[in-house]
Amino acid sequence: MCGIIGYIGPEEPVSLVLEALSRLEYRGYDSAGVAYFGKDGRIEVARASGKLSNLVALCQGQEGRPGPAIGHIRWATHGAPTEDNAHPHRSGPIVVVHNGIIENDRELRECLTSEGFSFSSETDTEVVAHLIHRYFRSTGNLSESVRLALRDVRGSYALAVLCEDRPGELVGVRRGAPLLLGEGDHSFFLASDVPAFLKWTRKVMPLPPDVIAAIGPEGLALLPVDGSVPLSPVFEEVPWDPVAAEKGHYRHFMEKEIFEGPRAIMDTLEGRIAPGHGRVMLSELTRLGPSPPEIVFVACGTSYHASLLGRQLIESLSDIPVRVEIASEFRYRPLRIRKGAWVVGVTQSGETADTLGALDHARREGYLTLAVTNVPGSSITREAEATLLTRAGPEIGVASTKAFVAQMTAVWLLALHLARRTGLREEEGSRRSLELLLRAPARLEGFLGAIDLAAIDRLAEKVASSRFVIFIGRGLDYPLAIEGALKLKEITYRPADGYPGGELKHGPIALIEPGVLVVAPLVDLDLAAKEWSNIREVEARGGTVVTIASPESSPVAPSYPLPPTDGWEGMFFATAVLQLLSYRTAVLMGNDVDQPRNLAKSVTVE
């Protein structure tokens, strides 16, 4: 849940590591720290609680000797967000930064304490530093000491390690948590995510699990923890550029990423529609063989909501039954799904621990697995038999926006692919669906280009002044409603819930009274009349209603009008409005939009 950076090369390391950390700050903002070799050849450690800016101020004027350095941005899991608990952690000559959770840290702490090691923090990471130090005393070899220490550790981790007695070496290793290698000019990087080092190189290699990256004067060596034959590094160029990870003229990354939705759709479609034939080609799925008798989506948060849309779309176009499961629940239940079913894990980062665990659970039981993710080379792409990349590019804002839009596009493509493979339920309907999808980027771009921000701000004032917000929807609108509620909670901290419209009368309607706001997206034309019945029930009980609707779905003027549409593309328009409504409300309230409290972008722990 944290972010780490490691660097070794000819540049002054302190400013470089701080700049790299600024591109990882979305991964945590409870504390930050750096470690580097000072002019006297000793390792200097600087740490600060709170946001990265506190560390930057602390390091003002400090310079390190060219060579290895490490940095860390923390989202607290073990111990309060204090300076004592901030990384890097030190034990003798060993200095460590860590992302993940050490599950047996209590028993290791007791053992190490009995051996004379003392602890100055509440973190599980300090255990790792002491373990490596223990083995370094006898081996004098940094990478070997790391290897021996990991035999004692249970849990997930990505580590970057320095040793004061080995000033030309940097070591990294991972299990469960992400860690990528970057190769620059006479330099190497270790990082939790690509944007950290994108300014200096686009050559990237995901570090395989249980492989130590030992970087020293002789270059990079990849040493399996089990002692088997060293691996050969293979770097690939990622198609991102540094500008893609910058805010540009926008106030926040979230705002920028909402307006990048059309590009996310377009890039996700690229190369996946047969020219002149009007059909979807997903060559990535060839390895999965024939169409499945059943599909089970496993996902968390926003990805779960995209999966609910996937169920609607797939079941509308094919006869394949679809289930959608919360990954954290699915992974611990006995599997009761059809033989030959596909289990589809949806995750923006490709590192979501619960989704990885759910996919691993299914794979061990013999089911075919498909990953839908935004990050090439992420853990889930190596776990699954096949991968469908969403190609949204870097998403920095913690609250997902364009990645959700790209996931919507991917599951729509999957629905069209399966419709063609299984024999279309309604061939004309499928052809029309593809036409709508192909025109969606241009229509969404035009819609966002003419967006009435003043009107959205008026709605944001209603949201900010309400005591409680309920989002309702039916059919396609239900996943949009619960995603809208999640966005509002994430960045405004307002109490909000989402429900199927038909469920209001089964309990939630008791909450309706003056001061309660109900938000209703209306893009599912087949169920719009039913939804309006629910809206009138709310109005009759004194609730205020905000409708986001096209003329076809609204008997009266909506609170925010959507362009005319006769199909599923309306969900892109409604999503943009819901995202902007949450964003403008959070800005109105003075909240930190890109770094909401208690949240991190990539949830790599359970």
Domains assigned to the chain = 3-233 (3.60.20.10), 253-449 (3.40.50.10490), 453-588 (3.40.50.10490)
Pairwise CA distance, residues 97 & 55, whole Å: 15
| Nearest of 18, 54, 61, 57 to residue 38 by alpha carbon | 61
Q: How far is CA 320 from the centre of its chain?
A: 28
Q: Which of 2, 59, 163, 300 is catalytic?
A: 2
Instruction: In whole angstroms, give the CA distance from residue 504 to residue 535.
Output: 10
Half-sphere exposure (Cβ direction) of 191: Cα atoms closer than 13 Å: 30
For the chain, list residues with pLDDT below 70: 1, 76-78, 240-245, 248, 275-278, 423-429, 567, 600-606
Give residue 604's pLDDT.
Answer: 53
At residue 394, the pLDDT reads 86
- Contact at 8 Å (CB) between 21 and 3? yes
Question: If you count DSSP H runs as helices and E runs as strands, how many of each does the chain have, helices first?
Answer: 17, 24
H helix intervals, 423-452: 427-449
Question: What tokens does 1 get?
Answer: 């849940």
Cβ 310 vs Cβ 256: under 8 Å: no
334 token code pair: 């006995």
Say whether 330 sits in a helix, a strand or coil: helix
Cβ distance 461 to 489 under 8 Å? no
pLDDT at 427: 63
- Establish whether 300 is a catalytic residue: no
CA distance 148 to 96: 15
Peptide bond into 292 cis (omega under 30): no
The distance in angstroms from the start CA to the end CA of the chain is 10
The strand pair at 342-347 and 295-299 is best described as: parallel
163 catalytic per annotation: no
Q: What does the alpha-carbon distance between residue 436 and residue 419 come to, in Å, rounded to a whole number? A: 16
> Burial level of 536, CB count in 10 A (0-12/13-18/19+)?
exposed
The pLDDT value given to residue 78: 66
- pLDDT value at residue 564: 87
Q: Which two tokens stand for residue 411?
A: 């599951």
Sign of the CA dihedral with 1 first, then 70, 47, and 123 last: positive
Q: Please check whether residue 269 is in contact with residue 409, taking contact to mean a CB–CB distance below 8 angstroms.
A: yes
Which of 256, 402, 489, 601 is catalytic? The answer is: 601
pLDDT at 600: 64
Give the CB-side neighbour count of residue 266, counting CA atoms within 13 A: 11
Determine the residue type at 343.
V
The pair of three-digit structure tokens given for residue 32, joined into one six-digit string: 């930050």
The answer to whether the beta carbons of residues 35 and 171 sit under 8 Å apart is no
| Token code pair at residue 155 | 């849990």
Beta-carbon count within 10 A of 211 CB: 21
Q: Which of 493, 509, 498 is nearest to 591 (CA)?
A: 493
